[in-house]
Structure 1
Amino acid sequence: MYTYIVKRLLVAIPTLLIVSIFVFSLQKLLPGDPILAMAGEERDPAVLELLREKYHLNDPLPAQYAYWLGGALTGDLGVSLRSNEPVLNLIAAKLPVTIQLAVMAIFFAFLIGIPMGILAAVKKNTALDYLASFVALSGLSIPNFWLGIMLILLVSVKLGWLPASGYEPFFADPLRSLETMVMPAFVLGNALAATLMRHTRSAMLSVLSADYIRTARAKGLSERAVVFEHSFRNALLPIVTLSALLFGELLAGAVLTEQIFTIPGFGKLIVDAVFTRDYSVVQGVVLCTATGFILMNLIADLLYFVLNPRMRATL
């Protein structure tokens, strides 16, 4: 197993290096000059030159990248040009918010997608199967921003059940925190549930047609035991690995949802940074989300190895 982990890490390291190059390039691709914004309205040439020297913008691009990468490896992602705070502190403040949203969203995805996938597979080619497929297709087709707005109008404005926006830290007020995060988590989890349902159905259909399932039924086992103890357990492999990848997508893909519900997470942070040309923050957030996605991909590979005995037998 250790050999397998080392191999996956050796693949992840150059991937992270390539990602860092693209992240650094954002500074040159985004329009505008952050130094002009920092210098104020007068824009004294001496001040501009001093700022360029301070942030190494007069150095050649390879030297700028090496300086930035060296800082990133030691935890120094630069300083926000807007708030003058270390980017790492901003990320540390926003990351728990996005993680909470992602965890709650994946919970909704499990709660909706897996039971629907099992039901659709067991009731193949029946009205329940078609209904589950229709719901899954609807979840994939409905844009998150539209669903979020509709939920705000119905649940918050019309019924007054949940707050329309805002955020409360979980450890400050757990109940209030859950109330503010239920709707955005459902919006994100709804789309993931559709993907999870389709994969669960496909995996279950593949397992239900296997010889050992027919043998289990021939032995007189109840349908419940056949479905949950034999079929679902063996269908878990692709579902678990897919879930790890979906969680990585959540860390990077909650921008619109966080904007709609005014959640101060990664999405809102990066949107505000782009509008204010705060390139250091943009680079730090993108690098962090890319690293999180690669990490979840690595976890998915390890889970596949742990859950699949045939892969362990080949080593």
Structure 2
Amino acid sequence: MLKIVLRRLLVAIPTLILVSLIVFSLQKLLPGDPLLTLAGEERDPQVLAFLREKYHLDDPFHIQYLAWLGNVLSGDFGHSLRTGVPVATLIAQKLPVTLQLALMAIVLALLIGIPAGVLSAVRKGTPTDYAANVVALSGVSIPNFWLGIILIMVVSVQWQLLPASGYVPPTENFLQSIRTMLMPSFVLATALAAYLMRHTRSAMLSVLSSDYIRTAKAKGLLPKAVVLKHALRNALMPIVTLTTLLFGELLAGAVLTEQVFTIPGFGKLIVDAVFTRDYAVVQGVVLCAAVGFIFMNLVADILYIVINPRLRHPQ
């Protein structure tokens, strides 16, 4: 297993370098000049020249990129052009918020999507199957921002069961933090659960038609044991892939959901940075999201080995 992990890490290095180059290059294509905001209303040419020299904006592209990459490798993502706060500090402040939202959303999606997919596959062609497919299609079709607004109006305003917006760190008040994040995580989980349900159903139908499943049934094993112990275990491979990719997507920031519920996570951070052309923040957040995607793919590879022991000894 260690060799497989090291091999994946070696592949991840050039991927990260390519991502960093693309991110740094695309920043230069954004219209406008962020230094015009920093220079104030008068925009003194001497002040602009000083700022360009300070942030090395007059250097050639490759010099700027290598200098930025060297700083990133040493843990320095630069400073926000708008607030002057180190980007690493901003990421450290916003990442736990998005992590909590992503974890709660993916847990809810797994608790809803996988059982629904298994039940739909086992009862193929029955009203239960049709109902599960209708619910899954609805979950994919309903926009997150619309569902979030409806939940706020009904659950928070009319029923007054959960807070409508805001964020409370779990270190301050754990129960209140869960209550605050429950609605936004459910909004995100609806679409994720629909994807997981459809993939689980397809994988289970494929596995249930296999010869070894028919053999297990012929041996007189209980249907519950056949479905859970034999079929579901072998159907988990594509589900693991989808789950890790969905979690990596959530780490990039659920922009609309965070905006609707006023959650200070990655989504709000990157939106504000793009609008203010805060290059350093955008670069740091996108690079951090790319690292998250690569890490989740590594987790998926490890889970493959755990689920399927035959992969521990590749030919």
Cα pair 1:242 1:300 within 8 Å, conserved? no
Q: Mean Cα displacement is larger for which, 256-265 or 202-211?
A: 202-211
| Aligned twin of 1:252 | 252
SS of corresponding position for 1:234: helix
AA at the equivalent of 1:262: T
Are positions 1:91 and 2:86 aligned together?
A: no
2:277: which partner in 1? 277
Report if aligned partners of 2:233, 2:307 keep a CA contact under 8 Å in 1.
Answer: no
Counterparts in 2 of 1:193-212, with a 5 A limit? Answer: 193-212=193-212
Q: Which amino acid aligns with 1:53?
A: E
The CA deviation at 1:294 is 1.6
- The corresponding residue for 2:161 is 161
Which stretches in structure 1 are left out of the alignment for 5+ residues? Answer: none
The corresponding residue for 1:292 is 292
Correspondences of 1:193-232 after superposition (within 5 Å):
193-232=193-232
Is the Cα contact below 8 Å between 2:248 and 2:292 reproduced in 1? yes
Q: Distance in 1 between matches of 2:60 and 2:182?
A: 48
- Per-residue deviation at 1:14? 1.1
The separation in 2 between residues aligned to 1:313 and 1:42, in whole angstroms, is: 68
Q: Which moved more, 1:182-191 or 1:291-300?
A: 291-300
SS in structure 2 of the partner of residue 29 of structure 1: coil
| 2:191 equivalent in structure 1 | 191
Q: What amino acid is aligned across from residue 88 of structure 1 in structure 2?
A: A
Instruction: Give 2:123's aligned residue.
Output: 123
3-state SS in 1 of match to 2:313: helix
**Which residue is 1:67 aligned to?**
67
The residue type paired with residue 218 of structure 1 is A
Instruction: Name the stretch that deviates more: 95-104 or 215-224.
Output: 215-224
Q: How many residues align?
A: 315
1:308: Cα distance to partner?
A: 2.3
Deviation string, structure 1 residues 258-298 (Cα, Å, up to 9, x no partner)? 01100000001111112222221111111111111121122
Following superposition, the deviation at residue 22 of structure 1 comes to 1.5
Structure 2 CA distance for aligned equivalents of residues 274 and 259 of structure 1: 15
Task: Please report how far the alpha carbon of residue 48 of structure 1 lies from its aligned counterpart in structure 2 after TM superposition.
Answer: 0.9
Deviation string for 1:21-63 (max 9, x for gaps)? 1111232122211111111112111111111111111100010
Q: Distance in 2 between matches of 1:308 and 1:223?
A: 22
- Cα distance in 2 for partners of 1:109, 1:302 equals 21
- 2:169 aligned with 1:149: no
1:152 Cα shift? Answer: 1.0
Give the Cα–Cα distance (whole angstroms) in 2 for the partners of residues 71 and 314 of structure 1.
39
Q: Deviations over 1:84-104 (max 9, x none)?
A: 110000000000000000000
Report if aligned partners of 2:253, 2:265 keep a CA contact under 8 Å in 1: no
TM-score by length of structure 2 reads: 0.96
Cα distance in structure 2, aligned partners of 1:33 and 1:240: 43
Residue type of the alignment partner of 1:213 = I
Find the counterpart in structure 1 of residue 311 from structure 2.
311
Amino acid at match of 2:226: V
Output the CA distance in 2 between the equivalents of 1:145 and 1:50.
43
Deviation at 1:307, TM superposition (A): 2.3
Aligned to 1:79: 79
| Structure 1 residue 7, shift from structure 2 partner | 2.3
Higher mean alpha-carbon deviation, 200-209 vs 235-244, is at 235-244
Other structure's SS at 1:314 match: coil
Q: Distance in 1 between matches of 2:4 and 2:175?
A: 42
Taking only the aligned residue pairs, the percentage that are identical comes to: 70
Instruction: State the alpha-carbon separation in 1 of the partners of residues 146 and 183 from structure 2.
Output: 13
**How far, CA to CA, are the matches of 2:13 and 2:255 in structure 1?**
26
- Which consecutive unaligned segments of at least 5 residues does structure 2 have? none
Counterpart of 1:135, as a letter, is: V
Write the distance in 1 (CA, Å) between the matches of 2:84 and 2:253: 27
